[in-house]
Every structure is written in structure tokens, then in C-alpha cells.
Copies of this chain bind each other. A is one copy, B any other.
Amino acid sequence: MSDQLSLDSIRSVLTRLEETIIFGLIERAQFRQNRAIYRRGEIWRELEGESLVGFLLHESEKSHAKVRRYTSPDEHPFFHDLPQPILPDLDYENPLQPNGININARIREAYEGEIIPFVCEPGDDRQWGSSSVCDVANLQNLSKRIHYGKFVAESKYRLQREQLWPLVWRGDAAALMDAITDAGVEQKVLDRVYRKTVTYAAEFEGSSCGHKINPEAVREIYRRWIIPLNKEVQVQYLLERVQD
């Protein structure tokens, strides 16, 4: 099996992404919710119909598309009008089946509408630019973590073809969700994420400034959004999978 699909390799990518996600949330939590940066329309009429965060995310994706970020099988853009790469193609090893699964619209909705109020204190501190820069990074990190479900699903499929293929064939999403769910592993992830956040949000002499993140909030973000959306990507991917 391709090295990218070994359970060890997948586990180590996902475990390392926890640091990236927690650091990013801690960074964002130092600022207020700043709802204005998610609003479209009059307030940002110069930004082509986008919010400040949407505008900066779009700009970031345009430049990353030029250097071929979205030709990598573990990267998924939020926008679909991106320029062609200006660098020559890389020969990525791609162990996935061709698929067009991309749930970034739902990730963005959940992040802006639900995760931000969960992580940041209410109100506006006018740190709009800094907050938006954090948001762009966080959205890209969450998207990577959640869409990594494709690798998880492909790996599980190859290991349990006989169990999974009949469910795929019947298009039985509920049974697939059941089959890919491992409550013990999920609990381990939640516990570890909590412990990590306790450590990273430690208080230091002189660090009283800025809101520190609540470790329960990070665990809850994993429980309510990251894990379920990741599993949904897995199920969608399996439902599209063809037999081999």
C-alpha cells in the first residue's frame, strides 16, 4: 500500500495538524469576535462583494494556485475561479480515486458562524486585519484536516474491502458512517487535544494580556465540527468509490 495510506503515516499527519490548529485558534482568540470582518456589502463595498476575510482568503488562494498548491491531493480551495499554476506540474503520488469532494463552503460557514463565537470574546477591538490573517490560516488548516478524510477512507477501504464494498454498492451512507466510526479513537483524539491546549494556553508571568483559549472549547470544536465533518468526507468519498 502507498506509504501515504499507511495508518501510521495518516495518524502522524493528523496528530501534527493538531498543533497547527490549536496554535492557530490560540492566535485568533487574542482578538475579539470582530463580526464586521465576516459581513459582506456596504461596509466593504470596495471588495467585490466579499467580506474582508473572504477577500483575503480569495487573494491567498489565487497566489497559492499560481504555485500549484491545489494540484496536491490533500489541498482543497474555497474558491473556484482560481488562476492556472505558473509553475510546471509536479508528479505527486496520488493514492486517491478521482473525486470532486469539497465541503469548504460548509467549513467556512461553521467557522465564521459557530467556531469564532466559541473561541473569541464578543465585541470589536478593531484588530480587523490581524484577525482576518488568522482566519485565513485557520480556514486553510481546518480544510486540510477535514478533507484528509479522503486518505483515511481510502486506507480503510483497502484494509476492509470485503466489509465496506457491499455498503458502498448499496449506497448505504448510514451503515458506512457506522463502519468507519471508532468511538475509542475519537475519545483519544478529544483527550489529547484537550491536554495539548491546556499546555499551550499556559499562563506565563507577563502574558496576562490577550484572551487565552479555553481547552474545553478546542475539544468541543473537535467534537462538534472537525471529527464529524472529517467522517462525512470519508462517507462521501466511499459512496463515490468504484470497485477495483
Contacts and interface: CB of A to CB of B under 8 A. Distances in A.
Interface in A67-81: 67-69, 72
For the complex of A and B, 9 pairs with smallest distance between CB atoms: A59-B63, A12-B209, A23-B23, A46-B86, A15-B206, A16-B210, A16-B209, A199-B202, A69-B129
A56 B63 contact: yes
B129 A16 contact: no
Interface string A64-99: 101111001000000000000011100000000000
B209 A15 contact: yes
30 contacts: A12-B206, A12-B208, A12-B209, A13-B209, A15-B204, A15-B206, A16-B207, A19-B26, A19-B27, A20-B27, A23-B23, A23-B26, A23-B27, A47-B86, A47-B87, A52-B67, A55-B63, A56-B67, A59-B59, A59-B62, A59-B63, A59-B66, A60-B60, A63-B63, A64-B129, A72-B129, A192-B206, A195-B204, A199-B199, A200-B200
Given A16-B207, A47-B86, 9 more contacts: A46-B87, A52-B67, A56-B64, A64-B133, A68-B129, A69-B129, A72-B129, A192-B205, A200-B200
Contacts of A87: 44, 46-47
Q: Is the interface of A mostly helix, strand, loop or mixed?
A: helix
A30 interface: yes
Contacts of A196: 204
Contacts of A59: 59, 62-63, 66
A55 B59 CA distance: 14
Interface string A150-174: 0000000000000000000000000
A207 B19 contact: yes
A11 interface: yes
A200 B19 CA distance: 9
A196 to B, nearest CB: 6
A137 interface: yes
Given A86-B47, A204-B192, A209-B15, A55 B67 contact: yes
Interface in A3-17: 11-13, 15-16
Nearest to A18: B207
Contacts of A64: 56, 129, 133
A187 B69 CA distance: 42
